[in-house]
Amino acid sequence: MIPIKLTLKNFLSYREATLDFRGLHTACICGANGAGKSSLLEAITWAIWGKSRTESEDEAIHAGASDVRVDFIFQNNEEVYRIIRSKGRGQSSALEFQIESGENFLSLTEKGVRATQQLILHHIKLDYDTFINSAYLRQGRADEFMIRRPAERKQILVDLLKLDRYEELAQQAKDLSKQFKIQAEQIEQNLIAIAQQLEAGKTIAAEQEVLKTTLAQLEQNQETDQKQLQHLQGLKQQRHTWEQQLTFVRQQYQNLSQDCDRIQQDIATTEAQQQQLWQLISQAEQISTGYTQYLNLQKQDEILTAEFQAYQESQQERQELQQKLTKEINELNRQIQQNQAQIEGLRSQEQEIQETLSRGGEVATALAQFKSAKKRLKELDNLQLEASPLLQRRTGLQTQLDRAQTKLTARLEELYSSETQLSTQIATTPQLRNTVLQVEEEIEQLEKKKVYQQRVQEKGLERRNFQERLQENQRRYEKQIGEISQKIEMLKVQDAICPLCDRPLDETHSQHVIQKTNTEYQEVQEQFWMIREQLSVCERELQILRQEYTQLSKELAPYEVLLQQRGQLEARLEATDEVYDRLYDISEEKKQLERSLERGLYAVDLQSELREIEIKLQELNYSEQTHALARAEVDRWRWAEIKSAKLEDAQRRQGKIDAQKPQLQTKLDALQKSLDELQTTSPLKQTIDALEREIIEIGYNLETHNNLRSSLRQATSWQLRHQELVRAQTQYPQICDRISSLTQTLTGRKADRDESNSQLAQIVKQIEQCPDPTNDIRIVEERIQARRRQLDEQLSLVGRLQQQLTQLETLESQYQEQQSQIQVLKRQYKIHDQLAIAFGKNGIPTLMIENVLPQLEAETNQILARLTGNQFHVQFVTQKAGKRATKKSTKMIDTLDILIADANGTRPYETYSGGEAFRINFSIRLALARLLAQQAGTSLQMLIVDEGFGTQDSDGCERLIAAINAISADFSCILTVTHMPQFKEAFQTRIEVVKTAAGSQLRLSM
């Protein structure tokens, strides 16, 4: 394969690039790492074999591009070919294969990429694995041939030397030898059989005459039995007709009996319903009395509910007015207390003034009085120290009592609100009970329909089973009709064959068989139509049952919803009882709170403590007013020297007091009068008294109301029973009519059944008068069939003997021919067996490899000696001792091991350095490529070395370049790839690769 031109589009690092190889012999592809040097060689392998270093073909597309295309023109075996491989991203690849014809290329492309690929391999005679193991030293894979297993190395040599053709020849020879052997064995078996047949043919003529005499006697006896059989079959046909009628009438009798049983069951069920309804109607007086009692209780409940609402409204209004009256009374009391305090203050001042005035002349005794007043003040101060904590505690207790009262008042208001809500909820109870009764009535109706639906379903299953049995019988009769029809058609054909003995029928026998078959056909046809009629009736019944079942299913659809609704309503009714209890509890709590507030029965501990504090204060007899008077007395006596001024002041104060006292007393009298009127004759008090009288007149008693409600709940069942009584009175006449109708229907069915029974008796009598000839027919038929088998056997023996006589003459000549043919086949078997051994892997291919390996070994050592200065030596070993070899017997096995020796002896390939290993690999690969180039007919004319020089020192690089130049004459094109400057300078022709923003670019320098 000699490259001519390579054109790239969007392949790996290249956008647009073209490389013309014409004029290139030994060239160096150089450039920086990652510039795209190896991509040129990858493009060649991808174009020819569709393989590259990428894992998928989409990865070969240039980044940002949508498709890739490689166009490669090359020469192989004096022909110029062109391969174009392209692919869109995410799409299947396309492949074109062309051959040069004049100035143009003709297409050799097959249908499909796989077929075209096989055609390319057929023309170039080189696959991808062989190429990379010989002429292409790929980057990082220079040791591709060395790391292969011995068997794989041997296979590579077989492929490169085109020795696989011998394997094909060996397989063909092996197949031909097997065919010749099988043919010879088959002919030998045939000869044994022919010899046995010729030996048995001597007695055939005598046997043939004896058989003809026996055959004539059997035919005469057969004709007599046929006439007797026809007479018996006529009798059987008449009896069969009566039996069919008997079966039909029996089926009709059975159906009528089933109808009678079903109607009697319906009558029994209906009579049971009638009995239940009559029992309910007989209790009408008791139910009416209970229902009347229920209605009376319901009216009393409505009256008490109204009284309860009026009682509740009056209680609430009275409470509001009472609170308002209490508030006004408290306000008047506060004003009265203020006036009384002012009057008391004036009296104290007046007393002080009088004392001052009365003692105006007692100046001598002033100091004594001052001391006395001072002593008294000191005592009051001491009392004040004891009384102050008690006074503070009293104030705190009073505040707590006020808070407790406020809390009770708020709770009372809350109870009033809850009582109103519960009363409203209780008011809806009668309507809820009516709803429950309606739902239960609907559920009862649906449950009755559900029971009826189950009966319909059971009857449908019964009809369905009967229909399946009829359908099975119908299929059996259809099959019999088809078989009989086919038999009739076969009998109508000229020269018909007997269906029993497979012999040709004469005219007499043919008519008899046709008549018998037609009779059988009519019988089966009658049974078939009877089954069809029964199926039609059964299908109509099933259709009616399906429609009825579907209608009932629709009517029963709300059943589950009604059950849930009934449960919810019953739960609400049960909750109503809890509401009554809760309302009673709230009422009791409300009364208790009202009583506590009216009587002050709350915070008893605080009130008790407050009373104790009041007692202690009384025992101390401390008064703030007295304390103030004592201080005033002290002050007054302290200012005794200004007694005259005090006297004047006392007179002025006395005048003011005299003026204020009448006003305050008048106001106090007016307030006291207003308080008395407010508590006795005020409109507010009169309204409260009127409400209390109204509450007493209402006379509502919660306990009586609760007892009435309990009685009402117990009497609810009378309402349900009353509704059932009304329904029973409505349904009872209908049930009576249905019983009458069913009784009439039953009478008619019984009459039809009796008529069918009489028909059965008549038919049975006719059948008894006509004896069954089946046993006689069976005996005659068995005799005819046995004789027919004898006739068939005799006729078959006669024909077979005649045929054997004819065949024996032919076999005699065949025996002689096959005797000579078997000798030729055995000779061909031996020849092709020897050829298969010669063409096998241990034959000519092994000999050729053994002949080639010394030359390959010598060529490798010659190149390796130039590269290493005679430091290394390579040896190829094709056989070695097996693992199970012993001292007495040594078994050799085929292999292709490569032994490497240096100055220190032979050691494994893995122990050599990178540079040493590369030189060894390179020597073997160059020798292999050179050897293949020398072989006649090979197309391997190109050598590629991709990198690998980086492991060499300067001396190693010079030796490699020298080795390449030494073998350059044996190849049409040698390409080396490197990024080392000192290496690329050794080549005059260079293909420089530069990576740019627009992709890798090529520049050729020579």
User: How far is residue 138's CA from residue 52's CA, in Å, rounded to a whole number?
Assistant: 11
CA dist 847 to 153, 852, 912, Å?
A: 16, 9, 32
The CB density around residue 493, as the number of other CB atoms within 10 Å, is: 9
Sheet containing 104-107, strands listed edge to edge, beginning at the edge strand earlier in sequence: 16-20, 2-9, 67-76, 79-88, 93-101, 104-107
Q: Which of 951, 866, 957, 999 has its CA nearest to residue 28? A: 957
Query: Structure tokens of 439?
Result: 């739902």
Alpha helices in 137-203 (DSSP H): 150-160, 164-200
As a whole number of Å, the CA-based R_g of the chain is 67
Residue 2 dihedral angles phi and psi, to the nearest 5°: -115, 120
Query: Structure tokens of 4?
Result: 């001519």
Q: Which of 808, 800, 823 has its CA nearest to residue 194? A: 808
- Max Cα-Cα span within the chain: 202
866 and 955 in contact (C-beta within 8 Å)?
no
CA atoms within 13 A of residue 666's CA, in its CB half-sphere: 5
**Tokens 């103030």 -> residue:** 628
Query: Residue 947: CB partners within 8 Å, gap ≥ 6?
Result: 38, 139, 140, 977, 978, 979
CA 321 to chain centroid: 72
921 and 143 in contact (C-beta within 8 Å)?
yes
Q: Which residues of 90-100 are buried (b: 16+ CB within 10 A; e: fewer)?
A: eeeeebbbbee
CA dist 1005 to 34, 38, 373, 989, Å?
A: 20, 18, 142, 6
Q: What is the DSSP letter of 761?
A: H
User: How far is residue 621's CA from residue 615's CA, in Å, rounded to a whole number?
Assistant: 10
User: How far is residue 1002's CA from residue 35's CA, in Å, rounded to a whole number?
Assistant: 10
CA dist 552 to 439, 455, 456, 521, 583, Å?
A: 19, 11, 10, 46, 47
Is position 501 annotated in a ligand binding site? yes
CA dist 67 to 9, 49, 782, Å?
A: 8, 18, 86
Give just the sign of the alpha carbon dihedral 448, 454, 460, 462: negative
Long-range contacts of 453-459 (CB under 8 A, 24+ apart): 453/549, 453/552, 453/553, 453/556, 456/545, 456/548, 456/549, 456/552, 457/549, 459/545
Is beta strand 93-101 parallel, antiparallel or unpaired with respect to 104-107? antiparallel
What is the amino acid identity at position 558? P
975 and 993 in contact (C-beta within 8 Å)?
no
User: How far is residue 990's CA from residue 984's CA, in Å, rounded to a whole number?
Assistant: 7
Query: Residue 173: CB partners within 8 Å, gap ≥ 6?
Result: 832, 833, 835, 836, 839
Residue 979's SS3 state is coil
Is position 260 annotated in a ligand binding site? no
Q: At what angle do helices 113-124 and 37-49 cross, to 10 degrees?
A: 100
Sheet containing 26-31, strands listed edge to edge, beginning at the edge strand earlier in sequence: 136-137, 942-946, 973-978, 26-31, 989-996, 999-1005
The CB density around residue 903, as the number of other CB atoms within 10 Å, is: 8
Detail the residues annotated as belonging to a binding site: 498, 501
Detail the residues annotated as belonging to a binding site for Zn(2+): 498, 501
